[in-house]
């Protein structure tokens, strides 16, 4: 049976104190990041939202039962230890006993932040209403590329094209330059998404 509680190797983390003013949303600060913590889980076959953990290529998360974030909402998560690492996840499940500033990421999302699952918990910034800026999908593909090529550093990326495939489908293509101590390679990533719901339909990453 699926255990919705996250992986926590030891219970020595203590209680996390929410940021002042977090409870009770202030419209003037709702787009500001909230400092919190992230744990990880392998997910399970059933979610309280009815959205599978595999949605959005496993860039998914569970939030507290009393969290203000509804099922299907996008949240931007940034690592405090590695601020250059940030991902956009979809809320797919609920976790009992979690305060609003704690999130339970799928393991692949946790690793995309550059975190070692053995750590169990990391400090993060949570952006409740990420702006759907042009670079959103470039960052989405960047994190997928970084996960696919863990021994390389992404030094640059740029938008190649943006195509409107239909009234609801958009395709964006980006090129990435990756380097390690031995070589430099060029990767092309493409994502097709529903422009009305911001749901990913498909993506492709290939070496040029």
Tens digit of pLDDT for each residue in 64-119? 999 989 998 888 898 999 887 888 888 999 989 999 999 999 999 999 888 999 99
Residues 6 or more apart whose CB falls under 8 angstroms from that of 172 comprise: 137, 138, 159, 161, 162, 163, 190, 191, 193
Q: What is the CATH number of the domain that holds 56?
A: 2.40.40.10
Same domain membership, residue 116 and residue 145: no
For the cut 70, the answer to whether the pLDDT of residue 9 exceeds it is no
Greater confidence, 140 or 2?
A: 140
Question: Same domain for 109 and 50?
Answer: yes
- Residue 126 contacts by C-beta under 8 Å, 6 or more apart in sequence? 33, 34, 35, 36, 75, 76, 77, 101, 103
Q: Residue 197: inside a domain, yes or no?
A: yes
Parallel, antiparallel, or unpaired: how do β-strands 102-106 and 34-41 relate? parallel
Last residue of a domain, which of 99, 127, 155? 127
- Retrieve residue 150's tokens: 């863990």
Query: Number of structural domains, the chain?
Result: 2
Asked if the structure places residue 50 within a domain, the reply is: yes
Q: For residue 120, what are the contacts with CB-CB under 8 A and spacing of at least 6? A: 7, 8, 9, 10, 13, 39, 40
Shared domain for 163 and 104, answered yes or no, is no
CA distance 204 to 187: 10
Q: Is residue 68 part of a domain?
A: yes
Of 127, 149, 167, which one is at a domain's C-terminal end? 127
Please give the Cα distance from 184 to 207 (Å, whole number): 11
Q: Are residues 148 and 111 in the same domain?
A: no
Together in a domain, 179 and 143: yes
178 and 123 together in one domain: no
Q: Please tell me the pTM assigned to this model.
A: 0.56
State whether 110 and 143 are in the same domain.
no
User: What pLDDT does residue 142 have?
Assistant: 81
Q: Which has more confidence, 191 or 15?
A: 191
Task: Verify that 45 and 119 share a domain, yes or no.
Answer: yes
Last residue of a domain, one of 76, 92, 127: 127
Residue 187 lies in domain: 136-207
Model confidence at 129, pLDDT cuts 50, 70, 90, reads low
At residue 204, φ and ψ (nearest 5 deg) are -145, 135
- Cα–Cα nearest to 42, from 22, 62, 71, 63: 62
What does the alpha-carbon distance between residue 111 and residue 41 come to, in Å, rounded to a whole number? 11
One domain, residues 38 and 112: yes
Please check whether residues 179 and 120 belong to one and the same domain: no
Question: Does any domain span residue 177?
Answer: yes
Query: What is the rounded radius of gyration, in angstroms, for the C-alpha atoms of the chain?
Result: 17
Q: Answer yes or no: do 38 and 122 share one domain.
A: yes
């Amino acid at each position: 049976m699926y255990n919705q509680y996250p992986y926590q190797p030891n219970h020595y983390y203590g209680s996390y104190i929410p940021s002042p003013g977090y409870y009770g949303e202030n419209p003037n600060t709702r787009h500001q990041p909230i400092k919190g913590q992230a744990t990880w889980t392998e997910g399970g076959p059933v979610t309280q939202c009815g959205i599978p953990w595999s949605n959005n290529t496993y860039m998914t998360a569970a939030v507290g039962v009393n969290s203000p974030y509804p099922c299907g909402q996008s949240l931007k998560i940034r690592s405090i230890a590695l601020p250059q690492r940030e991902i956009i996840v979809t809320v797919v499940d609920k976790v009992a006993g979690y305060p609003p500033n704690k999130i339970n990421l799928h393991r692949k999302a946790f690793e995309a932040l550059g975190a070692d699952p053995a750590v169990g918990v990391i400090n993060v910034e949570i952006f409740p209403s990420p702006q759907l800026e042009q670079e959103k999908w470039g960052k989405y593909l960047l994190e997928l590329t970084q996960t696919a090529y863990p021994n390389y550093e992404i030094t640059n990326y740029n938008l190649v094209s943006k195509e409107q495939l239909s009234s609801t489908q958009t395709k964006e293509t980006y090129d990435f330059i990756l380097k390690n101590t031995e070589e430099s390679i060029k990767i092309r990533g493409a994502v097709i998404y529903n422009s009305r719901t911001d749901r990913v339909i498909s993506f492709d990453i290939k070496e040029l």
